[in-house]
Structure 1
Amino acid sequence: MLRIAQLTKKFGRNTAVDAASIQVEKPAMIGIIGRSGAGKSTLLRMLNRLEDATSGSITFEDREITGLGGAEKRAWQADCAMIFQQFNLVPRMDVVSNVLHGTLNRRSTVSTLFNLYPNEDIHRAIDILDRLGIAEHAPKRAEALSGGQQQRVAIARALMQDPKIILADEPIASLDPMNAQVVMEALRRIHEEDGRMVIANLHTLDTARRYCDRVIGMRAGRIVFDGTPEQLTTDMAREIYGADASFSEEATSTEIGALDRSAKAAAVPA
C-alpha cells in the first residue's frame, strides 16, 4: 500500500533523513519516535511533499509520489492530510470555517475568494465536529478554544479532505495529559472506524505503545527500530534515544497514571 525506499533528505552537508525504508501493506496506526532532530518531521514533510526528497522514492497504491508536480501534487496532498503541533488554524475565523478549509483543494478561486461553501459541505463539517465532540463550538472563533479543542478542529479539517492517510506531526506535544489522551483516542478511532492509515510523530514511548499498531524508531536520520509495541523494550528505547542506564520512561510520560505515580514517589520522604 505504502512503500518508502531509501528516502534521503539533505540540507547542505547535513543529512536529516538517511536512506529510510518503510513498507506498509494495509492501513495501520504507526507511531514514529526519536529525539528532537532525529528526522521525524522531515520524513512526514517528504511524505506530504512539503519537502522534496534528495533521493529515494515514495510509492502509494502503485503511484510514484516523489516526482509529482502541479495538480497531481496537490491531489496527493489532499489524499495525504497533515496535522501540525501548532494547529495552523485561522485564529479569528469561526471553527466551522476553519474545518471547511479542508475543501480548498477542490473549490474554485471565486468560491474561495468569497468564502462560499455548499450547504452539503457545511453540514458535513458540523457532523465531523460532532463526531469529535466539539460541534457546540462551531460558531466560535478558533482562538477562543483550548489547545486540545483546537487540535480536534485541525483533525476535523483534515477529515474534510477525506484523505487516505493522516500524518500527525507531534499532535500532542503542546497539550496537557488529559487533552493529549482525547486527541490520541480521536486519531485511533479514525483509524479503526474509517480504515485510514495514521502516521504520527510522538515524543513519548507510552503513547506509542498504547495507541499504535507499529512503532518506528529514528536516530540521527536513520530508522533503527521497526516493530510492534511489545518489541519496544526499555533497552531498545535507550538505543533509539541514545540514552544510558539512567533513562526513565516515566520521566517523559504523558499518561495520567504514570504522572500520578511519579508525583507520589516524589512526595515520599527519603
Structure 2
Amino acid sequence: MLTLTSLTKSFGQNVAVDRATLNFDRPAMIGIIGRSGAGKSTLLRMLNRLADVTSGTITFEGHDITKLSGKAKRHWQSQCAMIFQQFNLVPRMDVVSNVLHGTLNRRSTLATLFNLYPTADIHRAIDILDRLGIADHAPKRAEALSGGQQQRVAIARALMQEPKIILADEPIASLDPMNAQVVMQSLRRIHEEDGRMVIANLHTLDTARRYCDRVIGMRDGKVVFDGTPEQLTTGMAREIYGAGEEFSEAATSTEIETLEQTAAPQRHEVKAAV
C-alpha cells in the first residue's frame, strides 16, 4: 500500500532522515516515537510532500509520490491529510467553517473567495463534528474552544478531505492527559471504523502501546525499531531514546491511569513524613 525506500532528507550537512525504509501493506494505526530531533516530523512532512525528498522514494498504490508536482501533488496532499500539534485553525472563524476548509482542494477559486459551500458539505461537516462529540460547538469561534476540542476540529477538517491516510504530527503534545486520551481515542476509532491508515508521531511509550498496532522508533534520523507494542520493551525504549538506566517511562506518561499510579506513592510518602 505504502512503501518508503531509502528515504533521506538533508539540510546542508545535517541529515534529518537517514535512508528510512518501511513498508505498510495494509491500513493500520502506527506510532512513531523518538526524541525531539530524531526525524519524526520531517518524515511525515516528506510523506505529505510538505518537504521535498533529498533521495529515495515514496510509493503509494504503485505511484511514485516523490515525483508529483502541481495538481497531482495537491491531490496527493488531500489523500494524505496532515494534523498538526498547534491545530492550524483560523481562530476567529467558526468551527464548521474551519472544518469546511478541508474541501478547499476541490473547490473553485470563486467559491473559495466568497466562502460558498454546498449544503451537502455543510451537513457532512456537522455530521463529522457530531461523530467527534463536538457538534454543539459548530457555530462558535475556534478560539473559544479548549485545546482538545480544537484538535478534534482539526481532525474533522482532515476527514472532510476524505483521505486514505491521516498523518498526525505530535497531536497530543500540547494537551492535558484527559484531552490527550480523547484525541487518541478519536484517531483510533477513525482507523477502526473507516479502515484508514493513521500514522502519528508520539512522545510517550504508553500512548504508542495502548493505541497503536505497530510502533516505529527513530534515533538520529534512522529507523532503529519496527515492531509490535509488545516488542517495545523498556530496554528497547532506552536504545531508541539514547537513555541509560535512569530512564523512566512513567515520567513521560500522558495516560491518566499511569499518572495516578505514579502519584499515589508520592502522596503516601508525604503523609508518612507528616
Q: TM-score, normalised by structure 2?
A: 0.98
What amino acid does structure 2 have at the position aligned with 1:106? R
Instruction: Note if 1:104 corresponds to 2:130.
Output: no
In the aligned structure 1, how far is the partner of 2:255 from the partner of 2:71?
A: 42
Aligned to 1:137: 137
SS at match of 2:56: strand
Aligned to 2:166: 166
SS of match in other structure, 1:217: strand
Alignment RMSD, CA only? 0.6
Residue matched to 1:237: 237
Matches within 5 A, 1:158-237: 158-237=158-237
Query: How far off is 1:268 after superposition?
Result: 2.7
Which residue identity lines up with residue 30 of structure 2 in the other structure? I
Identity between Structure 1 and Structure 2 (%):
80
Give, as a single letter, the amino acid of the residue that structure 1 aligns with 2:83.
Answer: I
Matched, 1:44 2:59: no
Counterpart for residue 259 of structure 2? 259
User: Matched residues in 2 for 1:160 and 1:267: separation?
Assistant: 46
Q: CA deviation at 1:266?
A: 1.6
Unaligned runs of 5+ in 1: none
Separation in 1, partners of 2:44, 2:265: 38
SS in 1 for 2:139: coil
CA displacement 1:153-205 (0-9 Å, x = unmatched): 00000000000000000000000000000000000000000000000000000
Rounded Cα–Cα distance in structure 1 between residues aligned with 2:5 and 2:197 = 18
1:61 aligns with 2:54: no
Give the whole-Å Cα distance in 2 for the aligned partners of 1:261 and 1:29.
Answer: 27
SS at match of 1:163: coil
Partner of 1:118: 118
- Aligned-partner SS, 1:86: coil
CA distance in 2, matches of 1:194, 1:138: 23
TM superposition shift of 1:267: 2.0
Task: Report 1:66-105 matches (<5 A).
Answer: 66-105=66-105
- What is the distance in 1 between the residues matched to 2:36 and 2:135? 35
In structure 2, list runs of 5 or more residues that go unmatched. Answer: none
Superposition deviation, residue 220 in structure 1: 0.2
1:265 and 1:116 mapped to 2: Cα distance? 57
Q: For residue 264 of structure 1, report the CA deviation from its aligned partner.
A: 1.4
